[in-house]
Amino acid sequence: MLELYYFHGATCGLKARLALAEKGVDYTHKVVDRPYLRTREYKELNPNGVVPTLLHRGTVLIESSIIMDYVDEAFDGPELKPDLPLNRARMAMWLKNADDVYLPSLGTVTYTVSMRHKILEKSEVERKKYLDGIPAMAARERRRLALEMGFESPNFAPALLELDRMLDDMETALGRHEWLADATYSLADAALSPFVERLDELSFAAMWEDSRPAVTDWWDRVKTRESYDQVLGATPNPERPQHTEKGSKAWARINEILTRH
Ligand SMILES: N[C@@H](CCC(=O)N[C@@H](CS)C(=O)NCC(=O)O)C(=O)O
C-alpha cells in the first residue's frame, strides 16, 4: 500500500508525483489542505508540517528529494538516475539546489507576488496564528518578511536572482546533454519541473522564452511527457489563475530587478 500526502500546487508534492508518474507507480492520493498540515495527527507523520509525505507498507518517508530517490530505488520501471557517476553527481546537485536554494527562493517570490494579498486580508490575530503555525523558524521568518515588507523585503531581489541563476545553470547543462543531468530524463528533470511550472503560472515565462532557447525547448519537451499530463494536465494548480493575475501585474517590477542586476 502506497499513500502520498500532498496538496495541489505544492511544488514539493509535484516533485514526488512526477517521479511516481515517470516510474508508472500507482498510489493513493491523500489530498490535504494547508490547515490539516498543522494538526497533531499530520505532524505525527511529518513533524515539519509540510508535504509531501509518503507511506509505504507502514513506513513513513518525508522530504521530497528523499521520496523521489526512494521511489526510483524501490519500484520497477524506467531508471531515473544516470548511469555515469559524473552525471549521477550532477543529478544529486540539482536535487540539493532544489532543496537548499530554489525552494526557499520560490517560496519568497510566490508569497510576495501572489499569496501575500490573501494573507494580509486576515485579521492581525489570524495572521499571527498563521505565522506561528509555520514550524521551521527560517521559513517562518522568510514568510514574515514577505508579508510585512513585500517587494521591499531584503530577501525578495536575492530570491528572484537565485531563480534567474537556476535558469542560467539549466541553460548551460542543457547545452551539454538533452536533459538536465544526462542524455535521458532523470530525477533532476522531475525535480526542476515544478519550479519552472510555478514561474510559468506567475506568467514569468519571458525569463526563459526571450533569452534561453535550451530551457524553452526543455520545458516544451517536459510538457509533452505523459507524466506532466497525468500530474498537472489532469489537475492544474487551483491557485494558477491567482498566480497569473498577480504575476502579470508584478512583471514590470520583476523585469526591472532582473535587468538592473
Ligand atoms: N524540504 C521539504 C520542504 C517541504 C515544503 O516546504 N513543502 C511545502 C510545499 S512545497 C509545504 O508543505 N508548505 C506548507 C504551506 O504552504 O503551508 C521537502 O522537500 O519535502
Q: Is pLDDT of 240 > 90?
A: yes
Q: Is pLDDT of 234 > 90?
A: no
* pLDDT of res. 244: 98
CA 10 / ligand 1 centre spacing (Å): 7
Query: Which atom of ligand 1 is least distant from the CA of 48?
Result: 4
- Atom 11 of ligand 1 has which residue's CA nearest to it? 50
**Using 50, 70 and 90 to split pLDDT, how confident is the model at 239?**
very high
Kindly list the structural domains of the chain, giving each domain's residue range(s) and its CATH number in brackets, ordered by start.
2-74 (3.40.30.10), 85-260 (1.20.1050.10)
**Using 50, 70 and 90 to split pLDDT, how confident is the model at 261?**
confident
* pLDDT of res. 135: 84
Q: Is pLDDT of 156 > 90?
A: yes
The pLDDT tens digits for 78-99 are 999 999 999 999 999 999 999 9
Mean pLDDT of 157-165: 98
The pLDDT tens digits for 98-125 are 999 999 999 999 999 999 999 999 999 9
**Using 50, 70 and 90 to split pLDDT, how confident is the model at 199?**
very high
Q: Is pLDDT of 136 > 90?
A: no
Mean pLDDT of 59-72: 98
Sole residue written with cell 543529478: 91
Sole residue written with cell 489532469: 234
Mean pLDDT of 123-146: 92
Q: Is pLDDT of 1 > 90?
A: no
Query: Which atom of ligand 1 is least distant from the CA of 38?
Result: 17
* pLDDT of res. 111: 96
* pLDDT of res. 81: 98
Query: How far is CA 223 from each of CA 18, 166, 196, 206, rounded to the nearest angstrom?
Result: 12, 19, 11, 17
DSSP state of 134: -
The answer to whether the CB of 5 falls within 8 A of the CB of 215 is: no
Any atom of ligand 1 within 6 Å of the Cβ of 231: no
Q: What is the rounded average pLDDT for all residues in the chain?
A: 96
Mean pLDDT of 45-61: 96
Query: How far is CA 67 from each of CA 16, 62, 76, 187, rounded to the nearest angstrom?
Result: 6, 7, 15, 11
* pLDDT of res. 98: 98
* pLDDT of res. 133: 86
Mean pLDDT of 117-137: 92
How far is residue 251's CA from residue 145's CA, in Å, rounded to a whole number?
Answer: 21
Q: Which of 12, 102, 137 has the most ligand 1 atoms within 8 A of CB, as the residue to mutate?
A: 12
* pLDDT of res. 5: 98
CA 114 / ligand 1 centre spacing (Å): 17
Strand runs labelled E in the chain: 2-6, 28-31, 53-56, 59-62
**Using 50, 70 and 90 to split pLDDT, how confident is the model at 55?**
very high
* pLDDT of res. 76: 97
Taking CB atoms within 8 Å and a gap of at least 24, the contacts of 33-40 are: 33/7, 34/7, 38/133
Tell me if residue 5 falls in helix, strand or coil. strand
Which amino acid would we find at residue 87?
Answer: N
